[in-house]
Amino acid sequence: AKVHGRNQLQFFDQAMTRDLVRKKEIESELRAAIQKDELSIFFQPIVDLKTGRIRTFEALVRWFHPEKGELRPDEFIPVAEETGVIITLGNWITAQAAKAAAQWPKDLTVAVNLSPLQIRAPGAALGILNAIRDAGLEPWRLELEVTESLFIEDSENTERFMEELSSHGVRFALDDFGTGYSSLGYINQFPFKKIKVDRSFVSGPNIGRKSDAIIRAVAEMGSTLEMDIVAEGLETVEQVEAVRKAGCTLGQGYYFSRAVPDFLAAMLISQERED
């Protein structure tokens, strides 16, 4: 048993080392990738479920690695968060997204995902205001998507950050709603304009009467509080119909479009406005 135990330990050790090596690799390559232009921002439309028209594009970062191919954000964003690279990366993403959005018609907004660490950085709110000013984007055309993980620690700082940006017109969306603590207290305390219901309520193994009732309740609350409720991860027409009937005002998902590069986003916009 002892030998077995030792082997197992060794196995874990090797696995941990491999993990660490890969992390270190991603960290140093990520710093270089920004300079080398390997990163780009893609845009996924968020659609008005009444009119079918695009209202917002969510900015989603993509990394085209010369050897590893396309790396998904789920793989490198956590490393960027652990290592602090997210500060540099996040500033770059916000600036790029704001520049692209400044070219769109003025009724369209852009949504940018924020990591908790970005909010904690000194001067974070000012940095974002500077980025949109430099891009020539009106503050109300920027939406910042945050998750509930933000409120677990440091909620005072978070509140200050959100109040400061909100006072300039920047909007906030509560992302992945339903996956964390989903406390209604957060919605009460912080200035959210939008709630994004996680895609696990729309598709997957736990879909049914219960998830439908939850979406209805959230949508009902949204309409009373004059907040938009976005259904994420819509892939089929049946799902679109269901969330529309349940009262969601906006939808996002492969049914409408995947995230696309900025020139394709511009094409989607002009196609929609031709007729």
Cβ at position 36, least distance to Ca ion in Å: 26
CA pair distance 16, 207, nearest whole angstrom: 36
Reported residue count of the chain is: 275
Strand spans (E) along 89-244: 109-113, 142-146, 171-177, 194-197, 228-231
Q: Which of Ca ion, ligand C2E, none does 72 bind, CB closer than 5 to 8 A by kind?
A: ligand C2E
Question: How far, CA to CA in Å, does 216 sit from each of 154, 211, 247?
Answer: 31, 9, 6
Closest to ligand C2E by CB, 86 or 269: 86
Instruction: Report if residue 175 touches Ca ion, rule: CB under 5 A.
Output: yes
Instruction: Report if residue 228 touches Ca ion, rule: CB under 5 A.
Output: no
Instruction: Report if residue 94 touches Ca ion, rule: CB under 5 A.
Output: no
- Could you tell me which of 75, 56, 57 has the C-alpha nearest to residue 65? 75
Region near Ca ion per CB under 5 A, out of 71-79, 97-105, 111-119, 256-264: 111-119
Instruction: Report if residue 113 touches Ca ion, rule: CB under 5 A.
Output: yes
Cβ at position 252, least distance to Ca ion in Å: 8
Binding track over 126-165 against Ca ion, x by CB under 5 A: -------------------x--------------------
Which of 56, 91, 96, 115 binds ligand C2E (CB under 6 A)? It is 115
SS3 content of the chain, % helix, strand, coil (to 5): 55, 20, 25
Lookup: tokens for 20: 């660490």
Single-letter residue type at 58: E
CA pair distance 185, 201, nearest whole angstrom: 21
Residue 118: alpha-carbon gap to chain centroid: 13
Closest to Ca ion by CB, 49 or 67: 49
Residues 226-265 close enough to bind ligand C2E by CB under 6 A = 233-235, 252-254, 259
Q: Which residues bind ligand C2E (CB under 6 A)?
A: 44, 59-61, 72-74, 77, 93, 113, 115, 145, 175-176, 233-235, 252-254, 259
Q: Which residues bind Ca ion (CB under 5 A)?
A: 113, 145, 175-176
